[in-house]
Amino acid sequence: INTKIFENSFSASKAVAKEIATLIKAKQKTNDHCILGLATGSTPKGLYAELVRMHKEDGLSFKNVISFNLDEYYPMEPDSIHSYVRFMKELLFDQIDILPSNCHIPDGTLTKKQISKYCAEYEQKIESLGGIDLQILGIGGNGHIGFNEAGSLQNSKTRLVALDHITRVAASKDFSGLSNTPRTAITIGVKQIMEAKRVILMAWGEGKSNIIAASAEGEVTNKVPASFLQEHDNVVFVIDKAAAKKLT
Ligand code: F6R
């Protein structure tokens, strides 16, 4: 896998923001929408801060951007402090000029019965717009992308999933304890991620170094869903020095 190693997450995030800005502007020139796939979690925070800065200081407009987030906990109310809706609004959407109607995040308030139809429609919306131009990903310490945990198939679709114990433990610090941490989430599938025209996976810190090596250089296996990206023809792992430590 193509990897770009940066001194730190700050310079790496700046480089990713620059690529996004370049794409948005190229699409503006041809009057096209720019379809972005977005992630939450700690990894993209610096990226979103830089995009906000570019909007405020450099006049970068997001009016032609349509975004689709990877995932949301289920069940989850949008105004909960734990929701990815709230995360995206606070860190990005409310600070730029993207149209709220152009921002899509899986709905954590559906009834169980509504989920499968909703997921199919989420995918259809992406497809009807011509697919994701650029997908931003983080990676779980266990190799998940989105919330496609170990065992997810390469052609898995948007769906309700059970979160791995290790994913819940990682999230439990935000939810003040494991018993308050959701057990399930709605995630776009590996299939949608693989269909994105370009994928940028970001990872920072030594804690991610083993899984970065396994994903980039190990066997392609559904035990490590990020390893499927080895079969994507336009992917880059943007990582800091610490996360690159175990690469050969
Ligand atoms: C978030 C997501 C997850 C995270 C991953 C890493 O939308 O889909 O796959 O990217 O769990 O989380 P952080 O960045 O907090 O280490």
Could you tell me which CATH number the domain at 2-160+187-240 has? 3.40.50.1360
What's the pLDDT tens digit per position in 120-134?
Answer: 999 999 999 999 999
* Tens of pLDDT, residues 111-122: 999 999 999 999
Out of 121, 123, 149, 219, which one is annotated catalytic? 149
Q: How confident is the model at residue 213 (pLDDT cuts 50, 70, 90)?
A: very high
Indicate whether residue 42 lines ligand 1 (CB < 6 A). yes
State the pLDDT at residue 136: 99
Ligand 1 centroid–CA 190 distance in Å is 14
Mean pLDDT of the chain, nearest integer: 98
- Which residue puts its alpha carbon closest to atom 9 of ligand 1? 146
Domain chopping of the chain, boundaries: 2-160+187-240
Determine whether the shortest distance from the Cβ of 106 to ligand 1 is under 6 A: no
Do 21 and 54 contact (CB within 8 A), yes or no?
A: yes
Q: What is the pTM of this model?
A: 0.98
Q: Quote the pLDDT of residue 47.
A: 98
Report the pLDDT averaged over residues 172-187.
96
The pLDDT value recorded for residue 129 is 98
Note whether 205 and 240 are within 8 A (CB).
yes
Question: What pLDDT, on the 0 to 100 scale, is given for residue 172?
Answer: 96
Please indicate whether residue 149 is annotated as part of the active site.
yes
Q: How confident is the model at residue 100 (pLDDT cuts 50, 70, 90)?
A: very high
Mutation to probe ligand 1, out of 70, 91, 167, 184 (largest number of atoms < 8 A from CB): 70
pLDDT band at 5 (very low <50, low <70, confident <90, very high): very high
Please report the pLDDT score of residue 137 as a whole number: 99
> What is the C-alpha to C-alpha distance for residues 161 and 247, in angstroms, rounded to an integer?
30
Do residues 71 and 37 touch, judged by C-beta distance below 8 A?
Answer: no
Distance, in Å, from the CA atom of 39 to the CA atom of 84, rounded to the nearest integer, reads 9
The alpha carbon of 39 and the centre of ligand 1 are apart by a number of angstroms equal to: 7
Alpha carbon of 140 to ligand 1 centroid (Å): 6
* pLDDT tens column, 84-99: 999 999 999 999 999 9
Ligand 1 pocket, 202 CB below 6 A? no
- Give percent above pLDDT 90 in the chain: 100
Report how far Cα 105 is from the mean position of its chain's Cα atoms: 11
